[in-house]
Chain A
Amino acid sequence: MYQYNDFDEAFVRARVAQFRGQVERRIDGSLTEDEFKPLRLMNGIYLQLHAYMLRVAVPYGTLNSAQMRQLAYIADRWDKGYGHFTTRQNIQYNWPKLQDVPDMLDALADVGMHAIQTSGNTIRNVTADHFAGAAADEIEDPRPIAELLRQWSTDHPEFQFLPRKFKIAVTGAEQDRAVTKAHDIGLRMVRNAAGQPGFEVIVGGGLGRTPMVGKILRDFLPKADLLPYVEAIVSVYNLLGRRDNKYKARIKITVHENGLDKIQHLVEDRFKAIRAGFSGHDQALLAQIETAFAPPAFVTKSTDGFEAARLANPAFRSWTDTNLAEHKADGYAIVSISIKKHGQTPGDATSDQMRVMADLAETYGHNELRISHEQNVILPHVHKSDLPAVYQALRAADLATANIGLASDIIACPGMDYCALATARSIPIAQEIATRFDELKIEHDIGQLKIKISGCINACGHHHVGHIGILGLDRAGVENYQITLGGDGTETTTIGERAGPGFSADEIVPAIERLVTGYMDLRIDENETFLQAYRRLGMEPFKAILYPAEDKANAA
């Protein structure tokens, strides 16, 4: 993993000291809220419904054990003993006091972390495939590029006042686990005809009120051109992006309004103009960063114990069936730890749970953890012979729920339980859906299903790319939930279609149950997933399930 050098350390400490002074001036009244707000946002502090919120960047979702322990310490010392992992691989603390935030930021700096550019109209935390460096289907670990982008974008003088926020995601694998097509820039590693690795550059994707699938700007960009090319894109956007209307300011609208051809032309021109300025220093830096991401020393040992434990313990077998993914090294597995126990808040982990996960990573996982955009925690490198012990420790910490990729593995934004922008609550809906499917004991029969819930049109809960998406709205002063179907956030990204009128908070969980049990009747066999069935059959049969004819007649 990348470790801060003296420059990083000095930079982050200086920012904390600067912000400490700004907080002091806000508290003594010499700064107004209007003056202070942009300063606090630059440091990741929001003011929400009940308290401030501090959003801490987990760069490309990667943490080591010491960092995870420090996140637990911060939760205990200055918050309420838990943290919320988000769809952008960050962690949010929901209850910090303003005067404590500088101390929290210093505590983060102690372990090489910060909250810089987790808000505001800047380049945000660069997200990456949460299986990076471990996935069997990977060309290269994308995290060195993500770290290079982090260093380049942090405090980049040209890009501190963009028309709107700017999100970059990167993956090195064939399967897209980083939702690259729903980002301002998506970078997908591919090989050219000569077998060299480079990037497919996708631009103008995004969710929110105007969801759009990203478009390919370049089929193949050599790795060495990445930084100048990304700088060219952001530079073109910075000048061309609209500043007159907040809702039309994201690059997806810039691309849509100007056309891909024009953007391509401008980016290529800008790229030519600045390419020579990147004289190789970026490549030397990248080479240095790459050494920090060298794979761990994988060992070869027997997996007999693992196979025996699977045979002996059905609960362990079920967990290994759902929560493991294929690792590139023989004998290893990628472990997804569900922080979505049925009825719990998706993405929340207590400080005790964070410490258990940190300990497991240290003992069995080469000291590495990841946060997934699906709001779970990953141990990317665990030898299969250690899995029975890992499972036992997870069980003891209430972290062994076997539901990865299933109906209760729900993405939910904080919604109106916390967020000042929300129009309805998300968390209780997620809790109720998960609890209901657990009562029915059918989620393993249902199979792969992605339910994603957003509490407003900004779509932090990725509802547009959920197989089933739920959008919470305020309809005449009452919470109302719209359903979208057929969304997909992978390499075959699709924006879900709205099924029809929304449901009340009381009706939405029965509606989802009806929809899912209805799908089980419609599918060809148990191998046809919800998404496949939807693609085969289209909206109509699902609509008929959601809105039975007799109800329609009554309503008319």
Chain B
Amino acid sequence: MARSFTPKVVTANALLEGDAVWLTEDNTWTRDIHEAELITDEAHGDLRLLEAMAQADKIAGAYLADARSGPDGPEPTHFREAFRTRGPSNYHHGKQAG
């Protein structure tokens, strides 16, 4: 039996600010993971990652990160990805500062 695929989002850092961004269904980049495209098919994920990496003038370091469906849209499953949606814990900087 084929291994079940954990849902993913394509994420990267914005080219100029370095802020965490996620790929949406319409090929734009959002700073809110809830607006990202949740990918549930492995082959589609590989394709979306390639398409993301082609946007070299907007982002850097694209990769697929595990995610799950939540009430407001995709949400992170791992603490590292959760930190990327907020910012550091020692100062009110980054996304949490709005």
Min CB distance B29 to A, Å, is: 14
Contacts of A52 in B (CB 8 A): 17-18
The answer to the question of B38 belonging to the interface, with a C-beta cut-off of 8 Å to chain A, is no
Contacts of B13 in A (CB 8 A): 47, 51
**Which one of B57, B84, B91 lies within 8 Å of A49 (CB-CB)?**
B84
The answer to the question of B64 belonging to the interface, with a C-beta cut-off of 8 Å to chain A, is no
Contacts of A94 in B (CB 8 A): 88, 93
**Which one of A95, A348, A428 lies within 8 Å of B89 (CB-CB)?**
A428
Min CB distance B41 to A, Å, is: 23
What number of B residues sit within 8 Å (CB to CB) of A? 25
Q: Is the CB of B90 within 8 A of A345?
A: yes
**Which one of A48, A80, A417, A478 lies within 8 Å of B18 (CB-CB)?**
A48
Min CB distance B55 to A, Å, is: 9
Rounded to whole angstroms, the CA-CA distance of A348 and B88 in the bound complex is 14
Contacts of A97 in B (CB 8 A): 16-18
For window 398-436 of A, CB contacts with B under 8 Å fall at: 416-418, 425, 427-428, 431
Rounded to whole angstroms, the CA-CA distance of A29 and B59 in the bound complex is 10
Min CB distance A347 to B, Å, is: 11
**Which one of A33, A49, A418, A428 lies within 8 Å of B60 (CB-CB)?**
A33
Q: Is the CB of B78 within 8 A of A477?
A: yes
For window 1-46 of B, CB contacts with A under 8 Å fall at: 13, 15-20
Min CB distance A501 to B, Å, is: 20
Residue of A nearest to B20 (CB): A50
Min CB distance B37 to A, Å, is: 21
Q: Is the CB of A50 within 8 A of B88?
A: yes
Q: Is the CB of B83 within 8 A of A33?
A: no
Rounded to whole angstroms, the CA-CA distance of A52 and B15 in the bound complex is 9
The answer to the question of A528 belonging to the interface, with a C-beta cut-off of 8 Å to chain B, is no
Scoring B residues 46 to 64 as 1 if CB is less than 8 Å from chain A, else 0, what string do you get?
A: 0000000000110011000
What number of A residues sit within 8 Å (CB to CB) of B? 31
Rounded to whole angstroms, the CA-CA distance of A474 and B57 in the bound complex is 33
Min CB distance A92 to B, Å, is: 13
Supposing A32-B56, A33-B56 touch, asked if A47 and B16 sit within 8 A by C-beta, the answer is no
Chain B contact residues, majority secondary structure = loop
**Which one of B18, B77, B94 lies within 8 Å of A47 (CB-CB)?**
B18
Rounded to whole angstroms, the CA-CA distance of A427 and B87 in the bound complex is 13
**Which one of B57, B79, B88, B93 lies within 8 Å of A479 (CB-CB)?**
B79
**Which one of A29, A418, A477, A478 lies within 8 Å of B88 (CB-CB)?**
A418
Rounded to whole angstroms, the CA-CA distance of A348 and B80 in the bound complex is 22
Rounded to whole angstroms, the CA-CA distance of A417 and B94 in the bound complex is 11
For window 478-529 of A, CB contacts with B under 8 Å fall at: 478-479
Contacts of B17 in A (CB 8 A): 51-52, 97-98
**Which one of B57, B61, B90 lies within 8 Å of A29 (CB-CB)?**
B57
Q: Is the CB of A47 within 8 A of B61?
A: yes
Residue of A nearest to B94 (CB): A50
Contacts of A29 in B (CB 8 A): 56-57
Min CB distance B25 to A, Å, is: 23
Supposing A33-B60, A33-B61, A345-B90 touch, asked if A478 and B20 sit within 8 A by C-beta, the answer is no
The answer to the question of B95 belonging to the interface, with a C-beta cut-off of 8 Å to chain A, is yes
Min CB distance A502 to B, Å, is: 15
Contacts of A477 in B (CB 8 A): 77-79
Q: Is the CB of B79 within 8 A of A417?
A: no
Q: Is the CB of A428 within 8 A of B83?
A: no
The answer to the question of A532 belonging to the interface, with a C-beta cut-off of 8 Å to chain B, is no
Rounded to whole angstroms, the CA-CA distance of A329 and B48 in the bound complex is 67
Rounded to whole angstroms, the CA-CA distance of A526 and B6 in the bound complex is 56
Contacts of B91 in A (CB 8 A): 80, 345
Most buried by B among A50, A99, A425, A427: A50
Contacts of A417 in B (CB 8 A): 83, 88-90
Interface of A toward B, CB cutoff 8 Å: 26-29, 32-33, 47-52, 80, 94-95, 97-99, 345, 348, 416-418, 425, 427-428, 431, 474, 477-479
Task: Give me 17 A-to-B residue pairs in the complex whose CB atoms sit less than 8 angstroms apart, sorted by A's number.
Answer: A33-B61, A50-B88, A50-B93, A50-B95, A51-B17, A52-B17, A80-B91, A80-B93, A98-B17, A99-B16, A348-B90, A416-B79, A417-B88, A417-B89, A417-B90, A477-B77, A478-B79
